[in-house]
Amino acid sequence: MNFKDLSLTEIIEKINSGETDRKSVWDYFMGRIEKYDSKIKSYNFVNKDWLSQNNWKLAWVPIAVKDIFCEKDIPTTSSSKMLENFKPPYNATVIEKLNLEWMSSIGKVNMDEFAMGSTSATSALNTTLNPWGTNRIPGGSSGGSAAAVAAGLAPAALGTDTGWSIRQPASVCGVVWFKPSYGRNSRYWVNAMASSLDTPWTLTKTVKDAALLYEIMNWEDKKENTSLAGKDIIDPKIWETKDLSWVKVWVPKQYFEEGLDSGVREVIEKAIEDMKQAWALIVEIDLPMTKYAIATYYILMPAEVSTNLSRLDWIRYWLNSDKPYSSTDELFINNRWEGFWDEVKRRIILGSYVLSAGYYDAYYTKAAKVRTLIIEDFKKAFEKCDVIVWPVSPSVAWELWEKSDDPLKMYLSDAYTIPASLAWLPWISVPAWFAKSEDWKNEELPVWLHMISKQFSEQKLLEIANVYENLTKHWKPFPKGFED
């Protein structure tokens, strides 16, 4: 049985009906990892142990885990040299919740170091490639998660999102991404990047798969002070909805102006027309403050990075620099200089600068105020619409080293994903179809559509996305070269 062609939900149904068994599913995906992962290098660590357990919601179906979620006695490196030998003595809360429903972690997938980057090429351990074009980026920072699901090396994967870390990889690799409101999923023992933005979530083949994992993962965590009270239970009736006649869709004009590739624009406009054909009402409003989102993000995020990574000195993780030193400070400097790669150093330095005496009010305080204005922008918008749609990325996946020498160009590629992250909103990205790259290779690559709703309206968002997915069936194609 070709399990790569099935969704997570479909595989679980076949296990529970007796049509197949858990060991066969595990062996199938383990075999695909052994056969194909050398082509895309999505895994940092493969867990070859399989334990037989009783059936439950996840039926022991293997799920790939981004190398930032702590798992007891399993390497959790954040794709860094600093944590290369780190095996946590504990599980992240979301891992505990999934384990209670019999998740089977098949391995740790690659990422940009400490979740900082847009390509997965800033990993200190590996360079992951896009299964739709192995000369191209899989996105970042959750590129390993997206590539593994897209190539059929796992039916689903866990990731984290700070500004774009799941949405952009999901789009360029062609898998469904879902991120709930900030605080729905606990961040406890997920290695921190920027605490006011980090959100654990999933990459799957279908919207229903995303909902299945969301219902398991979201829960109040008393150990984590940004965790929201209560639990969101999905109403199964949302899967019966057939059209969008009850939905007002907003298309912000800011995201269809300069910088958007013509092929991507054409595909997204067709996706909006598909929603209109499903009887959605399309409206145009304005988001005036979102033009400041990138500047705001690249002040707030590095500030939190510099604080969160200040505790990592390499001394507590069993490795030290061989360079001579004459003081403890010099030892720390040597360790951190060798233990972190360039992108992490860049953000630590920038964050330390904006938090320094004399600059805190000039930069950090002002950025926090602008963030509040961006939040207010979205609140006003959702008084007039149910969902906002725009492209995930202004282009399809670019070639691997195309933007590596220009960090600013790399940062600007995330302009479409950052605003709603600053506003703590729930997002989902769904397949819109394929567009040709605007380089000389002219390759057809995935394009994904963003859908955003107001805070704590995850069920409505899933319902809308499911209607669109069922009408278009765009998730069915599979990358060439990864067939059984």
Of the listed 78, 104, 105, 165, which one is catalytic? 165
Peptide bond into 186 cis (omega under 30): no
- Count Cα atoms within 13 angstroms, Cβ side, for 115: 32
| Type of residue found at 225 | N
Of the listed 141, 227, 393, 395, which one is catalytic? 141
Residues in the chain: 484
Contact 319, 286 (CB under 8 A): no
For 324, residues 6+ apart whose C-beta sits below 8 A from its C-beta are none
Examine the residue annotation and report whether 141 is marked as an active-site residue of this protein. yes
Contact 301, 355 (CB under 8 A): no
Give dist(CA 109, CA 128) in Å, integer. Answer: 9
Of the listed 66, 97, 179, 403, which one is catalytic? 66
Rounded to a whole number of angstroms, the distance between the first and last alpha carbons of the chain is 10
Give dist(CA 194, CA 305) in Å, integer. Answer: 5
Which residues are identified as catalytic?
66, 141, 165
